[in-house]
Amino acid sequence: MTEPLDPTIAAARHALGLLSLDHDLLKDPVSLPVLDVDQAAWVLLELHIGSIAHGRAEPEAGMHLVIEEVFRPAFLGRASGRRHYDSYDIDRLLAFQDSYDDIRRAEERNGVRDLRREQTDAQVILSAKEWMHRNATGRVY
């Protein structure tokens, strides 16, 4: 049996349009906290970056979740006079997405594991730990 979703995580995903209130894993949708987009982004960033920092997620997979569950749905990359994601302190982590894209292309082209992957993974883990040190609330998801 699958565990019900943490109510704060469920509320964050709902606020970003990633989860409907009739989802099977919601124990009691009525009792979910109400989060705005900013609060939801912080909750999911702490979840995914924390998973990278604590070894619960592979760095590239964790960064994929940061992009797909936070950056895009919260419109953190929208064009404006400044980079909207600056206020979330994720610019260093986002820079690694280009590295992973380049590594994947090289691996597909050459048919072997790119030697840069281990170093990039280590840098992402270190950056995730630093982000958690600066930004984490201490909640455990």
Share of the chain above pLDDT 70, in %: 84
Residue 66 has pLDDT above 80, yes or no: yes
In a domain, 29, yes or no: yes
Q: Can you give the pLDDT at residue 37?
A: 94
Number of domains, the chain: 1
What's the pTM value of the predicted model, to 2 decimals? Answer: 0.87
| For residue 115, pLDDT beyond 50 | yes
Give the residue numbers spanning the domain of 91: 7-135
Q: Tell whether the model's pLDDT for residue 1 goes beyond 50.
A: no
Pairwise CA distance, residues 43 & 11, whole Å? 9
Residue 2 belongs to some domain of the structure: no
Rounded to whole angstroms, the Cα distance separating 60 from 124 reads 8
Tokens of 55: 């070894």
Q: What is the mean pLDDT of the chain?
A: 88
Greater pLDDT, 75 or 65: 65
Which phi and psi angles does 93 have, rounded to 5°? -65, -40
52 domain residue, yes or no: yes
Q: Within a domain: residue 141?
A: no
- In a domain, residue 103? The reply is yes
Summarize pLDDT for 74-113 with one digit per residue, the tens: 988 764 445 555 689 999 999 999 999 999 999 999 999 9
In a domain, 80, yes or no: yes
CA–CA distance, 56 with 128 (Å, rounded to integer): 12
Residue 140 located in a structural domain: no
